[in-house]
Amino acid sequence: MPILCDRLLKLKEMFNSKFGSIPKFYVRAPGRVNIIGEHIDYCGYSVLPMAVEQDMLIAVEPVKTHILQLANTNPLYPDFTTSANNIQIDKTKPLWHNYFLCGFKGIQEHFGLSDLTGMNCLVDGNIPPSSGLSSSSALVCCAGLLTLTVLGMSLSKVELAEICAKSERYIGTEGGGMDQSISFLAEEGTAKLIEFSPLRATDVKLPSGAVFVIANSCVEMNKAATSHFNIRVMECRLAAKLLAKHKSLPWKEVLRLEEVQAKLGISLEEMLLITEDALHPEPYSPEEICKCLGISLQELKTQILSPNTQDVLTFKLYQRAKHVYSEAARVLQFKKICEETPDNMVQLLGELMNQSHMSCRDMYECSCPELDQLVDICRKFGAQGSRLTGAGWGGCTVSIVPADKLSSFLANVHEAYYQRSNRSLAPEKESLFATKPGGGALVFLEA
């Protein structure tokens, strides 16, 4: 904790010079790395993340006015001031302060409050932005927790996670809730299997003979600024509806692929066989989807698709469903191996991570050339498994590396990926680092 203490003291000084007063308390929420289970939380399936040591830290002072003043220690993020009772979130611009406003508004709406006190807040984050380590969700969670604290209200960690997951959708991202859940439910020293409906977290003890290493591809990906992410969410929704129709289920109420499996009461392996049978690998046009479901184009656009996916011309349903059902099975296999601790545990876990990357690259198409290159380099220099983590299309990879190979692995990957392509401009610590499971969100009363 000494580094955190230094950061708190520095934040206190900066807060004083910015606002001319001392913070009343501080809130921290960590970023996360998803070890396995990519793009399946919003389909209703379990995921296996852990919190990282990097986090968002906010110094807070409630004030008597109704003014919300937000500032950031990073000069790239400009100050923002608004009325606490008139929160407007612009979906067209995923600016940093909008993520804060999501968390603030989520708590405000949960309690049905209209007359909110103002506050001065100074934000300090050391999670690399747009890297797939969940800096934006950490900011939403921080804002939710500090708003709750200022109001003197209390909620369970699970309730907070659910409110923050829901409120991040104000920015236009149709996420599934993994990021907010691990930010609140994380515990030092253990990864978590996060399950949904109802939300719950189970400890997963990672192998002691291996280290998880995060490597940033230095290609930035902002989920809220691009349509890739939301198109995948809709492709999964459409696949679920077509599979449900194929099996004569009430498809109109089905939103997630997991619901189809639950209604049929069959295994993931059987769902993969049904997908082969019911869907074709060629992309579907909106017209073909309408024909399959017996609805009009207008109904498809207004009742099923999200506003930012209404003009999409083709949907790959077979590939997305194949990825989701196979990835959901890999998560359960990963947990089982961690519990059974076979001698070749690291190798087996690595193979699952490699299969996950292949599926993300080929079936979900959420990789990019830099991520594929970085994964290859990591495997070449000793990783037993390596895969993209976070939404993809840029951001980071996560690799499982035998502990005795760590120092040579870091040196070789640094030279092969960062030095050769002049990517070493990124701060060293942010580009390539070993990580261990960190703790969840906290409130500090003193610096």
Q: Pick the catalytic residue: 179, 203, 311, 343?
A: 179
179 catalytic per annotation: yes
Does residue 154 contact residue 134 with C-beta atoms inside 8 Å?
A: no
Respond yes or no on whether the N-terminal peptide bond of residue 198 is cis (omega within 30° of 0): yes
Token representation of residue 425: 């401009």
Does residue 399 contact residue 405 with C-beta atoms inside 8 Å?
A: no
DSSP secondary structure letters along 282-335: SPBPHHHHHHHHT--HHHIIIIIS-GGGTT---B-HHHHHHHHHHHHHHHHHHH
Q: Which of 129, 141, 295, 310 is nearest to 230 (CA)?
A: 310
Does residue 135 contact residue 128 with C-beta atoms inside 8 Å?
A: yes
Q: Which residues contact 115 (CB under 8 A, 6 or more apart)?
A: 66, 85
Helices 317-340/257-264 angle, 10° precision: 70
Does residue 345 contact residue 337 with C-beta atoms inside 8 Å?
A: yes
Q: Which of 377, 332, 25 is nearest to 202 (CA)?
A: 332
Report the 10 Å Cβ neighbour count for 59: 28
Phi then psi for residue 267, to 5 deg, are -80, 165
Instruction: Note the helical H segments in 66-111.
Output: 96-110
Task: Just list the catalytic residues.
Answer: 179
